[in-house]
Amino acid sequence: MNYVKTMVAGVLFGAVAIASAAPVSITLPQETAQLKPSTHPGYVVATQMCAICHSADYINQQPGKMTLTQWTAEVAKMQHAYGAPLSDDQVKQIGEYLAITYGSEKPAAAP
């Protein structure tokens, strides 16, 4: 019987604690990280789309000298595994921009 009283008291105390809890509010600091500027069309797409889910710091923290294949796979993972609203063409453009700007790819020679 004491077990039941203890259990009921615990449930009632928990309900009172939940009912009286104030909402939690968090103020995040202003974003300061930025992608490295580029004339590559993928730069514009990346600045518009990548920041929907994460800061540019996430890109800066990736291993250096990743290849075009590796960067494109990372962006495709964002599209398929995490649901990033990217078209296949945008995945390709962002992958190219990241591989050239942060990775091991060299920009294509001007015609």
For residue 106, the model assigns a pLDDT of 87
Q: Which residues of 6-31 are buried (b: 16+ CB within 10 A; e: fewer)?
A: eeeeeeeeeeeeeeeeeeeeeeeeee
- Over residues 21-56, the pLDDT tens digits come to 788 999 988 888 999 999 999 999 999 999 999 999
Q: How many CB atoms lie within 10 A of CB 60?
A: 13
4 pLDDT tier (thresholds 50, 70, 90) = low
Q: Which two tokens stand for residue 56?
A: 């540019």
Cβ proximity of 48 and 100 under 8 Å: no
For residue 93, the model assigns a pLDDT of 97
Residue bearing tokens 């078209």: 87
Q: What is the rounded CA–CA span in Å between residue 104 and residue 87?
A: 24
- Over residues 63-98, the pLDDT tens digits come to 889 999 999 999 999 999 999 999 999 999 999 999
For the cut 80, the answer to whether the pLDDT of residue 14 exceeds it is: no
Q: What is the rounded CA–CA span in Å between residue 58 and residue 60?
A: 5
For residue 31, the model assigns a pLDDT of 82
Q: Which two tokens stand for residue 110?
A: 């001007």
Q: Bigger pLDDT: 5 or 97?
A: 97
Q: What is the pTM of this model?
A: 0.71
Backbone angles phi, psi at 2, to 5 degrees: -60, -35
Q: What is the mean pLDDT of residues 11-21?
A: 61
Cβ proximity of 94 and 75 under 8 Å: yes
For residue 34, the model assigns a pLDDT of 93
